[in-house]
Each structure stands twice: as structure tokens, then as C-alpha cells.
Structure 1
């Protein structure tokens, strides 16, 4: 597969390119207790083996169900985050969005720009897509603001929706309806 590059602004771009050379950036930015706390599947501490396993997993996924983009600095191509869509196999009209960004780049308005571009790409590639969902842990107010800036609507609280660290956690469910 050829890689695609999508410009976001003067500071960052996204691409579907991901190689083992990106693993040090994964380790650098994902060894963050706040990112771990706010995500379901990212381990902590994050190791080189975790990065290798993630790349293997992505290579095994079908482009029919998953689109994954790395967020990179224009200045040096360093990976600083990621954003992806995972489409339901049972309902191809629906997808879920997930994302993370390295802490030095928080509170700068970067993630809404990335999400809007990823949604645009998803709409263009998956013509029958009508619904994009985001499920956010109830304490993650910053992530809620991000999706709201992208046009997502709060639909409700899914009580005890996920299980992590021995706890059943409520999530706030957001959706963007594509019309």
C-alpha cells in the first residue's frame, strides 16, 4: 500500500504511514499515565514490544474496517499522536473514532483539526458511512470538548460500559451524523 500524506497546518500533517522506526515515538509519548487513564487499550508503561505488537495488529487489519493515521511534525516528521476510525463489521454505516496526542502538544487546538481531516477522509473512502461515534470516559472533559468542536453531539451516558483496572466505567457517548 502506498502512503498518503494530508496537510493539517504549518505545524503538523497526518499520514497512513507507520513503521517500526516510529516505535521510539510511541514509547516516548505513550509512557504517560494520563494517556493511559483516558484510553481503553493503550498499556502503561508502554514498551517497545507494545509498539511492535500494535504495528503487527494494524498490518493484520483490513482497510475495509480500519483507517489509522499518525500525526507528525512538519519540521522533522516525528510521530506525536494518532487518530483512527474502526468500522463495525456488522454495520458498515457506523464507525468509532479514537485518538491520542503527546502531552507537549495538548491545548493547542491540533486534535480538532486532525479529527476533521480524518472524518473527511473516512467520508470519501466509505461512501455509505452515516454515523461516527466517540466514547469518552466520564472524567475526560478535554476530549469531550474536542469532539464537540468537531460537531459531535452528546447522546447520553452509557453506564458501566467498559471495564478497566478492576472498575466498571461510565462513558459519555457522542455521535456525528453525516448528511
Structure 2
């Protein structure tokens, strides 16, 4: 059963309707975040194997209060205008990844618009709970989310992502989603007492239009 506006997240007692998804895919639903996501967000994010690949603003341990704080102050509020035109529609930056079969919250995906001379570049970031690894959820989500970003933001030219050394799973996701490796900042990361390289990947608008092996027949945006 796909997530809809008629039920709350599994594991939550909230009766507040969920927002409609921005994308309904074969395996994954991507929708705006909801206050009821806090419990499952805490469960999946409170894992050192998740936080080791993230910036230190993604804490470990990850408490319920931290999840609520993120939702209330960032996840449910931060937006970016869809274009540079006056009165452009505000678009949320952060979204929930949910399993289509039962609506279960699995993780998050979002966009961080760059500024100044890089204003036509967005950075994407994502994470997914360990119990969902190895099922193709993240690759499907990233492909579709990147396509959605280019469709939603007409001024957008480039989507980029960065990965810490050793995060081989995320590298595979990016490559399978059609991102191109660009380069490495050597020993740019200090994480858990270790110096790590930081790898960069990107996709340009003209590259997204020609994604291989991507069936849009089941994508609704």
C-alpha cells in the first residue's frame, strides 16, 4: 500500500494526515516530512554506521528530541523558490523516503542550494536506515529525485554530491543513478579521529535528460 494523505506513518499514533508524495516510484515514495516521522527517524538514524558517512551536524547518538528539533526547525520549514522570478513558488528542501509497499519511513533525501556564483548548483544529500540497504531503494530514489529537481527548478544546471572515503555503498548509488565522478579533495575530512578523502560527483541537466535504464512510467510528480 502506498503512502497517502489518509494514514499516518507506521509506528506512529498520530492521526494527522500525511502530505501527498512528490514522487511515487516502483519501490519508494518520496514525500514531505511529517511530525509523526520523528520516532522512526530516531530509530534508523541512531546508528553509528549511518552517522559515520555524514557531517557532524548529523549527531550520534541521535535522540528523539533531536529528531523533533530537526523536523520543527528545518525539515518542515526550509524552502527555496522554484525560480528567480518574483513570487516564485517556495519548494521544500527536505523529504522522507518511504517504502511504497507499506509506507514505512526509511530515511531522508534533500537539496541544499548553493549561493552567489554557484547559484545554479544544488547539493543533494541522503541517508537510509541500515535494514533497508541492498534493496535498490536509494538508487531508485536518487535517480527520480534528481530528475524531479531539474524539472522543478528550471534555473538549475547542476546537482552535486560528496562522499567520504570508505563509503563504497554511496559511491555505487551515485554511479548507478547516473552521477559522474569529478575529483577528490585529499584528507579534507576529519571524522572520528581519522583523516579521509572527500569524493565529488555531479550530474548536469543535459545528462539527466538521457538517464539510462530509467522507466518513468510509474513516476508521478
Provide the TM-score with structure 1 as the length reference: 0.89
CA–CA distance in structure 2, aligned partners of residues 168 and 20 of structure 1: 36
Cα distance per residue 1:23-78 (max 9 Å; x no partner): 11011101111101111131111101110121112344222386222111234322
Give ranges in structure 2 of 5+ residues lacking alignment.
1-18, 82-90, 207-221
Question: Paired residue for 2:50, among 10, 13, 35?
Answer: 35
8 A contact 2:25–2:100 mirrored in 1: no
Give ranges in structure 1 of 5+ residues lacking alignment.
none
Higher strand share: 1
1:73 aligns with 2:99: yes
Name 1:4's counterpart in structure 2.
21
Runs of 4+ with deviation above 6 angstroms: none
Aligned-residue CA RMSD in angstroms?
1.8
CA–CA distance in structure 2, aligned partners of residues 150 and 73 of structure 1: 18
Q: Which stretch of structure 1 is more off in the superposition, 160-169 or 34-43?
A: 160-169
Name 2:30's counterpart in structure 1.
14
How many residue pairs end up in the alignment?
176
CA–CA distance in structure 1, aligned partners of residues 69 and 190 of structure 2: 22
The structure whose RCO (Cα within 8 Å, separation 6+) is larger is 2
Name 2:149's counterpart in structure 1.
122
1:103 aligns with 2:118: no
CA–CA distance in structure 1, aligned partners of residues 201 and 22 of structure 2: 28
8 A contact 2:45–2:51 mirrored in 1: yes
CA–CA distance in structure 2, aligned partners of residues 75 and 4 of structure 1: 14
Greater radius of gyration (CA): 2
Name 1:148's counterpart in structure 2.
175
CA–CA distance in structure 2, aligned partners of residues 123 and 4 of structure 1: 17
Question: Paired residue for 1:63, among 80, 86, 95?
Answer: 80
